[in-house]
Structure 1
Amino acid sequence: MGGMSGASIPALSPDDLNRLCQFVYKRSGLIYGESKRFYIERRLADRMSSVGLKTFGEYFNLLLNGGAEAEQLINSFTVNETYFYREENQLRCLSKALLPEIVQTRGPGDLVRIWSMPCSTGEEPYSIAIWLLENWRLVDAYNIEIVGSDIDTRALAEAAVGIYSERALARLPKELVQRYFQAIAPGTDQIIQDLRESVKFTETNLVDAGSMRMQGKFDVIFCRNVLIYFDDAARRAAVENIYEATNPGGFICLGHSESMARISDRFRTRRFEDAIVYQRAPK
């Protein structure tokens, strides 16, 4: 997150706090309230300072007028904690079980689409690309398209550049760091150009049906650790959008603490050796 830029932290009335939280919810599906007051007021102070406004009323009018500031505010509220090879068991499941099942109905050179949503600063989609290059022997037999999407435009810009700290790379075996990254400064590496060009990054809102439809259909969707931030209504809307974005027979990978069974009955639960995933019924 950005610094405070010397901004004083506004003390929001309960009414103003609610108005702001409703605005964020309608734009992103993310739930905030009184319990997150300090977090909200710090980010609000930063944004008000950036645009040179002194009162919440002035700032909220700016938000209601649309334009770039609404996007900047949503960016400041999103959580982008991630690293390479997170939940590696799902990557094993992808190469050992999910893709072999999907390509049973495909011919050589056919398109296979994998979606990382939300992708934050790119660690997850790049992890998928590296994992498949290293662990799926049929990786060159199909036209594999990996798409990373997020509502946070700032995170997407960082993802496209692909520069990471030692912390983000800590779980990657050293030989993979040497193979797929170039050191650009002490403790800082950039993913090689071939891999940067192999992942497409797009701005997408999980709770906006039109935004989701624009990305087309996918065979495997990684949607990890985001539904837990939504309320029931936003969660149902997001899962309906995910269902529509999944090819028949396609798979959904959620975070380890999430369960589709409690949200929707439209997916079948599939238990593989390495992971529990959810499948849209084949035709």
Structure 2
Amino acid sequence: MADTPISEEEFQKFREFFYRKTGIQFESSKRYFVDKRLVERIEATGNDTFRSYFTMLRFQASGEELQQLTNLMTVNETYFFREEYQFKCLVDSILPEIVARKSSRSPIRIWVIPSSSGEEPYSIALYLLEHWAGINDWDIEIISSDIDTRILAQARQGLYSQRAIQQLPVRMLQKYFSRVGDGYQLCDDIRSAVEFTRVNLSERADTRAYRNFDIVFCRNLLIYFDDISRKTAAETFYDALNPGGFILLGHSESMSRISSLYKVRKFPEAIVYQRSLETR
């Protein structure tokens, strides 16, 4: 750190640049975290100063270094069946409403963002298999997205530590996972049921193709955004959802404080948010 000092002015320049590119804003309390990862990339790219690195970062045509840095800056920590009550809400309250107004010929589409290392989208697939009676009658499409290309590769591999699977019932662990070294690998059938894609939620070009979803899971992502980025994300999800579609957020997040586009739905299992059945 001492060999590549980053001044307060440089930190502010980087923070503003990263926010414009990703929608993620680092508070001053994250200064050590940010500086440490910047220094790592400065040294890895053969630059001597923040200034030369920042110039390369801004003007590199391929955007490869920005992606490398983004992979380092994003935090990916989760586990299977986290906030399981929302999966119960999905099965007991949300899906009955969706299937009641949907043609059996059209799939039920679920978008999970961020994917992190895959625990959340795979948890949804497992929970539906184990608890939803309609699983044999409906085609389910699960698409899971993240800005971090490294974590997406990890998610596709489906290999997890003891900590990641600690909430799973032993019966499910034995049924769907196999032991690989010190970890557990999810079976091919479940891994192939989820499509993983790279998406920057702040880039309209990335999200434009994401349409006609019935359900969006966006849990514990918006806490890293500021008010403007949260509002933009809410509008992106609104456009991605079918009329009457639902969005589920993390337990500490509230769409009511972000946007008036959604109706609050208080189900027995959880509070979720719904796009109007009418088009905007």
TM-score under structure 1 length normalisation: 0.94
Give the structure 1 partner of residue 239 of structure 2.
244
Name the amino acid aligned to 2:207.
Answer: M
The separation in 1 between residues aligned to 2:136 and 2:124, in whole angstroms, is: 14
> 2 CA distance for matches of 1:76 and 1:53?
17
Match of 1:137 among 127, 133, 144: 133
| Superposed displacement of residue 71, structure 1 | 0.6
1:9 Cα deviation after fit: 6.2
Residues 164-187 of structure 1: per-residue CA shift (max 9 Å, x gap): 00000000111111111111113x
Match of 2:146 among 134, 146, 150: 150
Moved over 6 A (4+): none
Using the TM superposition, give the Cα deviation of residue 27 of structure 1 relative to its aligned residue in structure 2, in angstroms: 1.3
Residue 157 of structure 2 aligns to which amino acid in structure 1? V
Percent of aligned pairs with the same amino acid: 46
Matched with 1:68 is: 64
Structure 1 residue 58 displacement after superposition = 1.3
- Corresponding residue number in structure 1 for 2:87: 91
Q: CA deviation at 1:108?
A: 2.9
1:255 match: 250
Deviation at 1:68, TM superposition (A): 0.5
Larger displacement relative to structure 2 (107-116 or 54-63): 107-116
1:23-34 matches, cutoff 5 A = 23-34=17-28
Alignment of 1:1-283 (within 5 A): 10-66=4-60, 67-186=63-182, 188-283=183-278
d(CA) in 1 for partners of 2:205, 2:239 = 11
Shift of the alpha carbon at 1:107?
Answer: 3.1
Q: Contact 2:79–2:164 (CA<8 Å) still a contact in 1?
A: yes
Supply the distance in 2 between the matched residues of 1:109 and 1:85 (Cα, whole angstroms). Answer: 29
Letter in 2 for 1:161: Q
Unaligned runs of 5+ in 2: none
Pair 8,174 (structure 1): closer, same or farther in 2 beyond 3 Å: farther
SS at match of 1:115: strand
Q: Which 10-residue stretch deviates more, 267-276 or 215-224?
A: 215-224
Cα separation, 1, equivalents of 2:3 and 2:96: 54
What's the Cα RMSD here? Answer: 1.3
SS at 2:29 equivalent:
helix
Contact 1:63 1:69 in 2 (8 A): yes
Q: How many residues in Structure 1 have an aligned counterpart in Structure 2?
A: 276
Cα distance per residue 1:115-147 (max 9 Å; x no partner): 111111110000000000000010121110001
Per the TM alignment, residue 248 of structure 1 is displaced from its structure 2 partner at its CA by 0.4
Kept in 1: contact 2:211–2:242 (CA 8 A) = no
